[in-house]
Structure 1
Amino acid sequence: MAPRSTPTARRVRIGVELRRLRERAGMTTVEAARALGTTQAQISNIEANRFGVSADRVRTLAHIYDCTDQPLIDAVADMAADRTRGWWEEYRDTMPSPLLDLAEMEHHAKALRVCQVINIPGLLQTPEHARALFREAVPPLRPHEIEHRVSHRIKRQAVLFRDVPVPYTAIIHEAALRMQFGGRDVTLAQLHHLIEVSEEPHITLRVIPFDGTSFPTAGHGLDYAHGPVTALDTAQLDTSHGTELVDAAAKLETYRMILDRMQKATLTPTASKDLIHRIAKTF
């Protein structure tokens, strides 16, 4: 079997989860290989996602590791069975892989929660707002690279408007609403767009006001994707060096707590929408 050339983060996650199951069982790769009737190298290659793995093999390994968490087994097996190439693969040669992994994460999420302090969440940006942001990228992007980024960002938004849209909660600080990226007209159009999409029943916008009494964190933006089971959740962090995907259980628990605390600092959805209206009137 030929090695995978560029496995996506979702495919890599299968190997990560199988390694975690083996380690919880207290088995070495040698012991796992012996039980499966294969080589240690094969187990290592599966866990490193150098080779693909079938849904049946996932279930066999879970049995060897005495895993009784059937929802988790089913979810990982479903991931292994899904060989569909997503729309984001058309950008494989023109954009950084982490941005493609983000689109894949959003596409498969059962629910999404995000928080942003300075920027409007990507799934809620207008093309003009996104373009203004990409023009300020460091290092600078060339014009065609900017258009690739804008196109990719807008296509990501399809998860909010497909036949079965993903439930989406966005926590936005008032500062992000007042930043005039692209100038007055672009900002005003962006605010009106937020008001419009907030009418969708599956989209919840909550604003942290400047006059709030608490603010749990002032760090980078955070996107949290809920998987079919909690163990398969993923967090994506915006950092100065790019995006970072996190799947360690302890860290995920921390990010859920951060989101919960941030949500407690927000206005209600109705009050948030009223604040956006008032800010729009100042432009």
Structure 2
Amino acid sequence: MARERSGPTLAHLVLATRLRILREAAGLSRKQAADGLGAHPVTVRRIEQAQTSLDEGQVRVLLRAYGSPAAETEEFLGKLATANLPGWWHPWRSVMDPWQLDLMSVESAASMIRSWEPALVPALLRTRAYARAVDDVLRPDLPAAVKDARTDFLMARQERLRTQQTRIWAVMSAVALHTRVGAAEVMAEQVAALRAAVDSPDVTLQIHPLDGPPHALTGTPALTVYRVEAPEIPDRVVRECGPAGAADVWDACATVTDYRLLLDYSCATASHPDKSREVLA
């Protein structure tokens, strides 16, 4: 039975990717693999893209078709139980943006997260009150209880990233410091939180001044690049676009590299991280 939709864990994503790599190394198409299962090629695609739980019987048949040695097969099957467990974010799945369902495993394993935010404080550096006020403005369609749950989820994400010491490197426009989100005390608390964040060894914050020239990300929507150390998992780039939490997600190496370079160019012309304290004073 397929697992309830909540997004794959990293262990699931790694095993699904390994199945694709093994199939390609065996020189088999998805159709050929599906024929061995007595299934449609879409079934194999869903398995390899971690869109369904890993069934032991199906996996055993596929590994046999790919010529996997007995020891490798048993090792693989031994990891299925853990891979099929729901991720820590499962309780919040009903309030997550669609792209987050597939990206939370990547975020949870990221060694570095780089982001660009053109008009607001970057999400991973927002306070609870600021984040809730942002949803009040950008997501008026959502009930208050859903907005509260979304804020709880963001706070949980931030705490887990701090615990696993993921490096956050954010670049933002000073426009965010002059855009009032919520009441005056909400903004004051958010600025104070940013001042505290820049003192953390795991946070780098750069700010483009209001009177600065255009830069490589001028006019670009909010952007996040995830760096993952697991060799089976490619880096990801997320570009927010449109209303209701819509986003484009890419894992193609060329596309990720292009956006990483844009971030590099933008960071090169932003204020030095040491000056962030002066801007936030």
**TM-score band (shorter)?**
0.7 to 0.9
Determine the structure 2 residue equivalent to 1:205.
205
Determine the structure 2 residue equivalent to 1:111.
112
CA-to-aligned-CA distance 1:82-107 (integer Å, 9 cap, x gap): 44533321112344443444544322
Partners in 1 of 2:228 and 2:81 — Cα distance? 15
| Corresponding position: 1:5 with 2:7 | no
Partners in 2 of 1:22 and 1:229 — Cα distance? 20
Please give the secondary structure, in 2, of the residue aligned with 1:201: coil
Please give the secondary structure, in 2, of the residue aligned with 1:118: coil
CA-to-aligned-CA distance 1:85-138 (integer Å, 9 cap, x gap): 333211123444434445443222121111111111111111111111111124
Determine the structure 2 residue equivalent to 1:235.
237
Distance 1:139 1:186, change over 3 A: closer
State which drifts further: 99-108 or 83-92.
Answer: 99-108
Q: Is the 8 A contact 2:106 2:228 kept in 1?
A: no
State which drifts further: 226-235 or 183-192.
Answer: 226-235
Determine the structure 2 residue equivalent to 1:258.
262
Measured after TM superposition, the shift of residue 184 of structure 1 is 2.2
Q: Which runs of 5+ in 1 are unaligned?
A: 67-76, 278-283
| 1:214-225 → structure 2 map (5 Å cutoff) | 214-217=214-217, 218-225=219-226
Determine the structure 2 residue equivalent to 1:71.
none
Distance 1:45 1:154, change over 3 A: closer
Question: Superposition RMSD on alpha carbons, in Å?
Answer: 3.4
Task: Identify which of structures 1 and 2 has the higher relative contact order when contacts are C-alpha pairs closer than 8 Å and 6+ apart.
Answer: 2
Measured after TM superposition, the shift of residue 201 of structure 1 is 0.7
Q: Is the 8 A contact 2:115 2:225 kept in 1?
A: yes
State which drifts further: 11-20 or 113-122.
Answer: 11-20
Which amino acid in the other structure matches residue 259 of structure 1? L
Partners in 2 of 1:79 and 1:194 — Cα distance? 41
Partners in 2 of 1:79 and 1:187 — Cα distance? 46
Determine the structure 2 residue equivalent to 1:128.
129
Which amino acid in the other structure matches residue 213 of structure 1? P
CA-to-aligned-CA distance 1:19-77 (integer Å, 9 cap, x gap): 4775687642244468xx655646345235334167xx69x86x9599xxxxxxxxxx9
Alignment TM-score, normalising by the size of structure 1: 0.77
| Corresponding position: 1:275 with 2:274 | no
Equivalent residue pairs, number: 261
Q: Is the 8 A contact 1:111 1:167 kept in 2?
A: yes
Alignment TM-score, normalising by the size of structure 2: 0.77
Partners in 2 of 1:140 and 1:44 — Cα distance? 34
Identity fraction in percent: 25
Q: Is the 8 A contact 1:198 1:204 kept in 2?
A: yes
Measured after TM superposition, the shift of residue 12 of structure 1 is 6.2
Which residue of 40, 43, 52 corresponds with 1:50?
A: 52
Partners in 1 of 2:102 and 2:133 — Cα distance? 23
Please give the secondary structure, in 1, of the residue aligned with 2:205: strand
